[in-house]
């Protein structure tokens, strides 16, 4: 039997925890789920990343998870036979976190954050940063291959 748990947050947010503990929050005055009120370089960066991920793996699934008051639109999560990466926006950067990044080869040195982690690796993109599209797509394909192995 599933028992919903209601938990209140500051700023008028109420969250209902789903079966897997994924928070589905609604914040008064927030954007609809999966969208963002930011319409700047971070939105553009995530759109570009989304396009590159889809080019690298046409079968990728994108979900929005972990909605919270600080991220009412949630966090995009890309998966194929398991999680590939997440895309989070912060004030000064966009963070792409690869859940199994420590197991991936990164010959072009795209990973620049979480380098001490035993499992994850991340790419932090600042305003104006350009991503090596071919290397990024290769990293996505490698992450999918690892998930499928």
Residue 103 lies in domain: 33-148
Is residue 93 pLDDT above 90, yes or no? yes
In a domain, 137, yes or no: yes
Q: How many domains does the chain have?
A: 1
**By C-alpha distance, which of 51, 72, 69, 78 is closest to 144?**
78
User: Cβ atoms within 10 A of the Cβ of 133, count?
Assistant: 13
In a domain, 5, yes or no: no
Is residue 21 pLDDT above 90, yes or no? no
Q: Which two tokens stand for residue 48?
A: 């570009």
Give me the mean pLDDT over the 16-34 stretch: 34
d(CA 99, CA 85): 6
Give the chain's largest Cα–Cα span.
50
In a domain, 19, yes or no: no
Is residue 26 pLDDT above 60, yes or no? no
Is residue 137 pLDDT above 90, yes or no? yes
Is residue 37 pLDDT above 60, yes or no? no
d(CA 135, CA 111): 11
| pTM, rounded to two decimals | 0.74
In a domain, 49, yes or no: yes
In a domain, 20, yes or no: no
In a domain, 23, yes or no: no
Residue 52 · residue 84 · CB < 8 Å: no
In a domain, 71, yes or no: yes
In a domain, 105, yes or no: yes
Domain of residue 63, CATH code: 3.90.1150.200
């Amino acid at each position: 039997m599933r028992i919903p748990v209601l938990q209140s947050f500051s700023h008028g947010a109420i969250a209902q925890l789903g079966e897997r503990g994924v928070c589905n929050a609604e914040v008064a005055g927030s954007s609809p789920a999966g969208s963002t009120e930011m319409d700047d370089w971070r939105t553009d960066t995530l759109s570009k990343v989304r396009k590159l991920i889809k080019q690298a793996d046409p079968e990728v699934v994108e979900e929005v998870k972990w909605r919270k008051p600080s991220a009412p639109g949630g966090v995009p999560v890309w998966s194929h036979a398991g999680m590939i990466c997440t895309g989070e926006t912060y004030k000064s950067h966009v963070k792409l976190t690869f859940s199994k990044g420590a197991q991936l080869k990164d010959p072009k040195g795209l990973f620049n954050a979480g380098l001490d982690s035993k499992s994850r690796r991340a790419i932090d993109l600042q305003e104006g940063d350009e991503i090596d599209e071919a290397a990024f797509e290769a990293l996505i394909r490698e992450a999918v291959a690892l998930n499928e192995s």
